[in-house]
Structure 1
Amino acid sequence: MIAEIKSNTDTKMQKSVEALRVNLAKVRTGRAHVGLLDHINVDYYGAPTAINQVANVTLIDSRTIGVQAWEKTMISKIEKAIRDGDLGLNPSTNGDVIRVPMPALTEERRKDLTKVVRNEADDAKVAVRNIRRDANEQLKRLVKDKDISEDDERRAAEDVQKLTDKYVIEIDKLLAEKEKELMTM
């Protein structure tokens, strides 16, 4: 039982770190890429829907993303969603194509992106700590049900804490790499 809890905890923490890795890849460092808009949701008839579910997202050139809505009524909603996103982009509509130019990365913009990256890392740390809390609660439940001894629970909780520390360090490394990448010209 304890081994199963530790294994599940390790797997969930790994997934949190992988999710962070994916989110950090979306933060641009100068070039446009279609994955940049993946996390933006559009109000599609009352339901928040991923932008790639209501439009084609393509690269027009290395500094411009093109978004072609599948329904003409969605163009203004998509444009608004991109503008309101946390990426600081300013889309413009040209007929039925929304052009999203990537502004040059100024020092101020780099600092803004660093804040976005730090928030992503903080969210990942919170997720890891929530997983630790859930594992500790499962261990306490096992002690309460008299399935394991208090000593076993204490040792397992220490192991869970070691896992937590390991993944928090990994998150910090990913954050440091991305910040360095953002701040170099």
Structure 2
Amino acid sequence: MKYDKADVERRMAGAVESLKGDLSGLRTGRANTALLDPVVVEVYGSMMPLNQVATVSAPEPRMLSVQVWDRANVSAVEKGITKANLGLNPMSDGQTVRLPMPDLNEERRRELAKLAGDYGEKAKIAIRNVRRDANDALKEDEKKKEISEDDRKRLEDEVQKLTDKYVADVDAATAAKEKEIMTQ
């Protein structure tokens, strides 16, 4: 395994982008189909993303509608939405599951802010794992005599600077989302 700075940077940036996608799904009071992106449903003996078993739409500003393609999967979709812990209360109506958006009270705002913090922590863990992989690759390169000890230390410092930069990006994105949740 050879150290590749561009790959390390790409993977760290990917963790930040993934976080931003997750945070965009945390909607404050308006219905947004991205809210259901993290939902997985157990159907046909395996776990599948919700968007592979149903169509999600927002027919009203405070209502999501999930049109399940196979009637047999309606209860599994309801279960998946409930398990995702998004604070939504699914109501089935034939092959359609309706999700009214709850009003944001103080408790719900705190829950959403905490969830945003959890997403941020997962992104930081992913970034630290990339750092660990890069440092392992550098130690391996040094062991194979491809780089000197001084080069390894210099490159490890470079990896740490990248880690710090992307962790700061995660902190900024998470803090901005938490502020948005608490003030809207």
Report the TM-score, using the length of structure 1 for normalisation: 0.96
Partners of 2:94 and 2:14 lie apart in 1 by 41
Specify the alignment match of 1:97 in structure 2: 96
Q: Which runs of 5+ in 1 are unaligned?
A: none
C-alpha root-mean-square deviation of aligned residues, in Å? 1.2
Partners of 2:22 and 2:94 lie apart in 1 by 31
Secondary structure of the corresponding residue to residue 98 of structure 1: strand
Aligned residues: 184
Report the TM-score, using the length of structure 2 for normalisation: 0.97
Identity value in percent:
46
Secondary structure of the corresponding residue to residue 56 of structure 1: strand
Partners of 1:169 and 1:38 lie apart in 2 by 25
Partners of 2:129 and 2:155 lie apart in 1 by 16
Partners of 1:89 and 1:44 lie apart in 2 by 20
Partners of 1:126 and 1:22 lie apart in 2 by 17
Specify the alignment match of 1:41 in structure 2: 40
Partners of 2:14 and 2:81 lie apart in 1 by 27
Partners of 1:170 and 1:56 lie apart in 2 by 33
Q: Which runs of 5+ in 2 are unaligned?
A: none
Partners of 2:14 and 2:83 lie apart in 1 by 28
Which shifted more, 52-61 or 132-141? 52-61
Secondary structure of the corresponding residue to residue 8 of structure 1: helix
Shift of 1:60: 2.0
Shift of 1:46: 1.1
Shift of 1:163: 0.3
- Dislocated runs of 4+, deviation >4 Å: none
1:101-140 C-alpha deviation (Å, 9 max, x unpaired): 1000100000000110000000000000000000000000
Specify the alignment match of 1:66 in structure 2: 65
Which shifted more, 94-103 or 143-152? 94-103
Secondary structure of the corresponding residue to residue 93 of structure 1: strand
